[in-house]
Amino acid sequence: MATACIVDGTKAKRPFSKTTFAMHGFNVVTCPACELKYVDISDDALSLILKRYYEGAYDKRTSEKSTALSRFRKSVASITGMDLAISESQARFMERSGLIQSNNIIDLGCGQGKLLIFLERRGYEVGGVEPDPERARVGQQQLKRDVVKIGTIDNPENYDVDVIIISHVLEHLTRPDKFLRLLKKRNPEAKLFVEVPNCANPEGLKASMSEPHNYHFNARNLKALLENCGWKVKRTETCAANGYYWAHILWFLLRKDVCPRKENGFLLRLMAE
């Protein structure tokens, strides 16, 4: 079983809940020192279960959710460009930080490459790594050039870029602390953008608990984790929920940010160096 909190090494833990996503019903515990919530299971067992889940149950669940209405919404979003609304919000945050000094950016766990598409249109030199071959191929088809590579992100390399993006990735990893330390060691000069659900927000926690997330962060413990792993956090924001279809309509018509800054909002974003 898990022996200590990955943030501060605290071995004490108190029961919180059980995960609600279909993969398992493992116990989630809370670190009494930093309030990090995490799945209480050994690293090896968790890695094996996650592998099976992503290769089977996750894809099945995703396909079952693909109703006619959801497919229509995705089509409209793609045609109008509304599917880039969230990406624009993320890019605005990165640029507000003042840390981007060059045009070279890589997105680890880039999915279908929507953020890369937006950044490339904005003039950045972009690249991405995505473990899921199907999602990676979608990104390869939509970008101007073949910038999305299929591969794992558990063992980060020296990417030789100015900015590394890990958006909704850390909470899925077996050991995000080891990942962040190695990422810093191999990319000492890079800036880092991180986005996760804000689990200090009740809706953010509820959403995070319903997904295959191994860790449920708040601003304090995520900042502590990054800094314990060698990163220096320079900017932190939380923002409103971004998944609503009508918010995307508003973005398309009025060019409004669909993820406006909000105290203790649904999403948590950090920039570090």
We report the CATH number of the domain holding residue 89 as 3.40.50.150
Judged against a pLDDT cut of 70, whether residue 269 lies above it is answered with yes
Q: Which two tokens stand for residue 39?
A: 């799945």
Task: Say if 58 falls within a structural domain.
Answer: no
pLDDT greater than 70 at residue 88: yes
In this prediction, residue 49 carries a pLDDT of: 73
Asked if the structure places residue 175 within a domain, the reply is yes
* pLDDT over 80 (residue 33): yes
Assess whether pLDDT exceeds 50 at residue 109.
yes
Report if residue 17 sits inside a domain: no
pLDDT of 56 higher than 50: yes
Across the chain, mean pLDDT equals 84
b/e 139-163 (16+ beta carbons within 10 angstroms → b): bbeebeeebbebeebeebeebebbb
Task: Please report, rounded to a whole number, the percentage of residues in the chain having pLDDT higher than 70.
Answer: 78
Under 8 Å between Cβ of 270 and 223: yes
pLDDT at residue number 242? 52
Lowest mean pLDDT among 75-84, 87-96, 203-212, 234-243: 75-84
User: What's the gap between Cα 56 and its chain centre?
Assistant: 21
Per-residue pLDDT tens for 133-153?
Answer: 988 988 898 887 688 999 999
Count of domains forming the chain = 1
Q: Above 70 in pLDDT, residue 122?
A: yes
**pLDDT for the residue 37:** 96
Which one is predicted more confidently, 217 or 72? 217
pTM, whole model, 2 decimals? 0.87
Residue 46 lies in a domain: no
**Per-residue confidence at 104, pLDDT binned at 50, 70, 90?**
very high
Q: What is the pLDDT of residue 64?
A: 44
Q: Tens of pLDDT along 5-18? A: 999 999 999 999 87
Predicted confidence (pLDDT) at residue 1 exceeds the cutoff of 50: no
Residue 121: the pLDDT is: 86
> Side by side, which strands form the sheet with 215-216?
14-18, 27-30, 37-39, 215-216
Pairing type for strands 37-39 and 27-30 reads antiparallel
- Judge whether 11 lies within some domain: no
Is residue 218 included in any domain, yes or no?
A: yes
- Cα–Cα distance for residue pair 207/137, rounded to 1 Å: 27
Reduced to 3 states, what is the DSSP secondary structure of residue 158? Answer: coil
pLDDT at residue 199 is higher than 70:
yes
Please check whether residue 80 lies inside any domain of the structure: yes
- Which domain covers residue 245, as residue numbers? 73-272
**Domain assignment present for 150:** yes
Position 210 scores a pLDDT of 85
Q: Enter the tokens of residue 4.
A: 């200590």
The pLDDT of residue 2 is 54
pLDDT for 211: 85
